[in-house]
């Protein structure tokens, strides 16, 4: 039977197959259930006692904008502190000096092992144990020194350093040992090797999780409300205490968090792209390049260009 | 140029080099052959202090590698001094070890700019000449990932030459290459030898050793078993161990 089929010549290209597709009833049911649940949630929220109309107005409220600004800069500063300290800790941890590596290990163990909220509160209340700050050249009452800003910066930044140091260490260790040898063989010192050869390559591994850490930081900074720092959540609560629109203000805050994290996700994409140089033959196109290419294809009905 | 006197090297309990004595003269192409694990690569890495020797003395250009002798005491050299010693010794690795985040040109200019303090313009000009010399003038702006193995190894040779070394070390430079790409790298090395570069080459390319080499050493199990002129050793090995090795690779 198959013989006749095999021997039959096929001068015309076979016509397109028109078969009855397999019915995926399960998918239909699952899709319907999910849509049903979404609709129910939507109905619930539209009937809820939420005054949606005031949300757009409060998005640009002065107090809220002030909170956004505080959230933004405490996140950036804490992240910077975490990054700098993290690199130092990573180098300490990998050094052959047993004292520095043990101290780095203990630091990471403590700051990663206790809740950030506790660390924030400890810094804020440090005046209870050290009423006077005496640095020799500088002396003042601790209450004057430990402002909400400083407590937030130390609490968030020192905690972040513990995480960043592990990320940096993983990045440095991911670089092939041959790179260090080649650099040494050219007469480059340890420091130059680290700066010019190892770190640029480690960045490819360090950047993605660091972006993650930063986006986490934007949100974790909300805990600083506990030390009276005027970040977004604190400000949202301040507003709601007068406007009595409690949930609406949390919505406003959430929208701002979403905007901030979205903006920084885009930044992260470009940063990753920059450090991908040399790791693959071609860099992935930026969203803008992708858009332009699609527009070009759309504009001309000729065949798409073969990408180089 | 290089003198080894009773060089020993141990990694923990593994005794890899068991007393190496040899001498490499200036302008000589010195080939090291032997089975894997015989210690030839380790010895090569000792010459620019990528490995510390455990006993014996190793001199490059008359000065001790990695140490300073004062009276009968040896002082370890500081990191900066070791780096300075390495400037004059170029090394080419089996796995190229090009810097992947830099273009071919940047790979070649990196050390002259960073170590010698050359200006960018000068370093770039020389790097172009060197890349031209290894036949890669059209690959100047490519990243290593965009080059074939043979091209990468030629960039690596140009990178080492950019420091104007007195001595070049080659650690199995063609072992990671496809057979058809071996020739282009050997051609560059042959060129270099004709220009009078002192070269120590760990290799499995017996043809190269025979044609280009001035002396050849057969190592096994951490000792020099046999040495002499490549053509004589390869054609008429004296030791049983050399005979059995050559019968397998020739």
pLDDT digits (tens, 9 = 90+) for A171-217: 999 999 999 999 999 999 988 999 999 999 998 899 889 999 999 99
Chain A residues close to B87, C-beta within 8 Å? 186-187
- Whole-number average pLDDT of chain B: 93
- Using CA coordinates, name the residue in chain A closest to B156: A182
Determine the angle formed by the axes of helices A62-94 and A246-275, rounding to 10 degrees: 40
What average pLDDT does this structure show over A92-116?
94
CA distances from A117 to A23, A159, A298 (A): 53, 10, 53
Burial of B139 (0-12, 13-18, 19+ CB in 10 A): buried
Predicted pLDDT of residue A9: 61
Three-class SS of residue B158? helix
Q: CB–CB of A153/A224 below 8 Å? A: no
Do the chains contact at B145 and A280, CB–CB below 8 Å? yes
* pLDDT of the residue at A6: 55
A185 inside 8 A of chain B by CB: yes
How would residue A132 be classed by pLDDT, with cut points 50, 70 and 90?
confident
Tokens 């890669």 label which residue? B136
User: Would strands B63-64 and B55-60 be described as parallel, antiparallel, or unpaired?
Assistant: antiparallel
Closest CA to B96 of B151, B38, B162, B14: B151
Please say if the pLDDT value at position A304 is more than 50.
no
Give the tens place of pLDDT for each residue, B94-110. 999 999 999 999 999 99
Beta carbons of B91 and A179 less than 8 Å apart: no
Give residue A290's pLDDT band: very low, low, confident or very high (50, 70, 90).
confident
Q: What is the pLDDT of residue A302?
A: 47
Mean pLDDT on B76-96: 93
A48 φ/ψ angles, rounded to the nearest 5 degrees: -70, 165
Higher per-residue confidence, A291 vs A163: A163
**Residue A11's pLDDT band (cuts 50, 70, 90):** low
DSSP per residue, chain A: -HHHHHHS---SPPPPP--PPPP-HHHHHHHHHHHHHHHHHHHHHHHSS--TTHHHHHHT-HHHHHHHHHHHHHHHHHHHHHHHHHHHHHHHHHSS-HHHHHHHHHHHHHHHHS-HHHHHHHHHTGGGT-SEEE-SS-EEEHHHH--HHHHHHHHHHHHHHHHHHHHHHHHHHTS-HHHHHHHHHTT--HHHIIIIIIHHHHHHHHHHHHHHHHHHHHHHGGGGGGGT---HHHHHHHHHHHH--HHHHHHHHHHHHHHHHHHHHHHHHHHHHHHTTTTSSSPPPPHHHHHHHHHHHHH--SPPPPP-
What's the pLDDT score for residue A283? 65
Distance of CA B242 to the CA centre of its chain: 22
> Nearest residue of B to residue A277 by CA position?
B101
The pLDDT value given to residue A1: 47
Q: Residue range A250-264: average pLDDT?
A: 94
Q: Does A283 touch chain B (CB under 8 A)?
A: no
> Predicted confidence band at A8 (pLDDT cuts at 50, 70, 90)?
low
Chain B within 8 Å of A21 (Cβ-Cβ)? Answer: no
Residue-level pLDDT at A297: 62
Q: What is the pLDDT of residues A45-77, one digit of tens each?
A: 988 888 888 888 889 889 999 999 999 999 999
- Among candidates B79, B90, B146 on the partner chain, residue whose Cβ is nearest the Cβ of A189: B79
Task: Decide: A148 and A124 in contact? Cβ < 8 Å.
Answer: yes
Convert the pLDDT of each residue in B206-216 to its tens digit. Answer: 999 999 999 99
Which band of pLDDT confidence, cut at 50, 70 and 90, is reported for residue A19?
confident
Averaged pLDDT for residues A27-55 = 92
Kindly state the tokens that stand for B121. Answer: 């313009």
Sign of the dihedral through C-alpha A115, A119, A124, A128:
positive
For A277, list phi and psi in degrees, rounded to 5.
-50, 130
User: What's the pLDDT at A20?
Assistant: 85
Q: What is the pLDDT of residue A234?
A: 93
User: Look-up: residue for tokens 């290990």?
Assistant: A105
pLDDT tens across B216-233, in order? 999 999 999 999 999 999
- Helix, strand or coil, per DSSP, at residue B93: coil
> What average pLDDT does range A110-136 have in this prediction?
92
Question: Chain B: residue nearest A202 by CA?
Answer: B101
CB contact under 8 A, A182 and B93: yes
The backbone torsions φ and ψ at residue A189, rounded to the nearest 5 degrees and listed phi first, read -80, 170
| Residue B29 φ/ψ, nearest 5 degrees | -105, 110
pLDDT tens per residue across span B56-65: 999 999 899 9
- Predicted confidence band at A10 (pLDDT cuts at 50, 70, 90)? low
ipTM of the complex: 0.93
pLDDT reported for residue A109: 96
Helices and strands in chain B: count of H runs, count of E runs = 9, 12
Beta strands B29-33 and B215-220: pairing type?
parallel
Residue in chain A closest to B85 (alpha carbons) equals A187
- Give the span between the Cα atoms of A116 and B75, in whole angstroms: 49
What DSSP character marks residue B214? S
- Contacts of A50-56 with CB under 8 Å at 24 or more apart are A50/A247, A50/A248, A50/A251, A51/A245, A51/A248, A52/A248, A54/A243, A54/A245, A54/A248, A55/A248, A55/A251, A55/A252, A55/A255
Judged by CB atoms closer than 8 Å, whether chains meet at A281 and B79 is answered as no
Structure tokens belonging to residue A296:
């070009």
Contacts of B52 in chain A (CB under 8 A): none
User: Is the pLDDT assigned to residue B2 strictly greater than 90?
Assistant: yes
Shortest CA gap B232–chain A (Å) = 33
For residue A144, is pLDDT > 90? no
The residues facing B169 across adjacent strands are B91, B200
- Determine whether the interchain pair A201/B100 forms a contact, defined as Cβ–Cβ distance below 8 Å: yes
Residue-level pLDDT at B128 = 96
pLDDT for A2 beyond 60? no
- pLDDT grade for A22, boundaries at 50, 70 and 90: confident
pLDDT of res. A308: 46
Q: How large a percentage of chain A has pLDDT more than 70? A: 89
- Token reading at A272: 């990753």
Confidence of residue A300 (pLDDT cuts 50, 70, 90): low
- Please identify which residue in the block is written with the tokens 């390319």: B205
Q: Which residue has the higher pLDDT, A145 or A163?
A: A163
* Rounded mean pLDDT, A235-263: 91
Give Rg (Cα) of chain A: 28
The residue-averaged pLDDT of A3-7 equals 53
Average pLDDT, chain A: 87
Q: Which residues share a beta bridge with B218?
A: B33, B226
């Amino acid at each position: 039977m198959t013989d006749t089929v095999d021997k039959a010549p096929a001068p015309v290209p076979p016509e397109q197959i028109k078969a009855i597709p397999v019915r995926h009833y399960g998918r239909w049911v699952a899709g319907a259930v999910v849509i049903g649940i979404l609709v129910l949630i939507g109905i619930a929220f539209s009937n809820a006692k939420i005054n949606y109309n005031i949300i757009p107005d409060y998005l640009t409220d002065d107090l809220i904008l002030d909170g956004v600004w505080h959230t933004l800069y405490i996140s950036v500063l804490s992240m910077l502190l975490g990054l700098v300290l993290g690199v130092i800790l990573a180098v300490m941890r990998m050094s052959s000096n047993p004292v520095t590596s043990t101290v780095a290990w203990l630091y990471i163990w403590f700051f990663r092992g206790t809740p950030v909220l506790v660390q924030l509160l400890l810094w804020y209340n440090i005046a209870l144990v050290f009423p006077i700050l005496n640095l020799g050249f500088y002396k003042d009452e601790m209450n004057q020194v430990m402002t909400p800003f400083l407590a937030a910066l130390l609490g968030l930044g020192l905690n972040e350093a513990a995480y960043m140091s592990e990320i940096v260490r993983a990045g440095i260790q991911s670089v092939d040992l041959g790179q260090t040898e080649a650099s040494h063989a050219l007469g480059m010192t340890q420091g130059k090797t680290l700066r010019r050869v190892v770190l640029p390559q480690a960045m490819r591994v360090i950047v993605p999780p660091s972006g993650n850490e930063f986006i986490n930081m934007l949100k974790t900074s909300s805990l600083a409300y506990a030390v009276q720092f005027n970040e977004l959540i604190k400000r949202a609560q301040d507003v709601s205490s007068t406007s009595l629109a409690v949930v609406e203000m949390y919505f406003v805050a959430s929208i701002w968090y979403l905007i901030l994290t979205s903006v920084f996700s885009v930044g992260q994409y470009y940063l990753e792209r920059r450090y991908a140089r040399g790791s693959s033959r071609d860099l992935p196109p930026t969203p803008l390049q992708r858009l332009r290419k699609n527009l070009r294809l759309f504009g001309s009905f000729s065949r798409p260009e073969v990408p180089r | 140029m290089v003198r080894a006197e009773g060089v020993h090297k141990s990694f923990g309990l593994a005794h890899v080099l068991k007393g190496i004595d040899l001498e490499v003269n200036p302008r000589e192409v010195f080939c090291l052959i032997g089975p894997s694990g015989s210690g030839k690569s380790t010895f090569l890495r000792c010459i620019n202090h990528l490995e510390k020797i455990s006993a014996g003395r190793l001199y490059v250009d008359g000065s001790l590698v990695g140490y300073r002798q004062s009276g009968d005491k040896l002082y370890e050299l500081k990191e900066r001094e070791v780096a300075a010693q390495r400037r004059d010794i170029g090394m080419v690795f089996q796995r190229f070890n090009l810097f992947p985040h830099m273009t071919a040109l940047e790979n070649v200019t990196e050390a002259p700019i960073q170590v010698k303090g050359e200006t960018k313009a000068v370093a770039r000009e020389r790097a172009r000449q060197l890349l031209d010399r290894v036949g890669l003038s059209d690959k100047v702006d490519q990243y290593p990932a965009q080059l074939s193995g043979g091209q990468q190894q030629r960039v690596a040779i140009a990178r080492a030459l950019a420091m104007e070394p007195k001595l070049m070390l080659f650690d199995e430079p063609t072992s990671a290459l496809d057979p058809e790409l071996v020739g282009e790298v050997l051609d560059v090395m042959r060129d270099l030898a004709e220009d009078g570069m002192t070269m120590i080459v760990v290799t499995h390319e017996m043809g190269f050793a025979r044609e280009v080499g001035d002396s050849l050493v057969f190592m096994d199990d951490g000792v020099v078993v046999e040495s002499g002129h490549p053509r004589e050793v390869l054609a008429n090995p004296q030791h049983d161990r050399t005979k059995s090795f050559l019968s397998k690779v020739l």
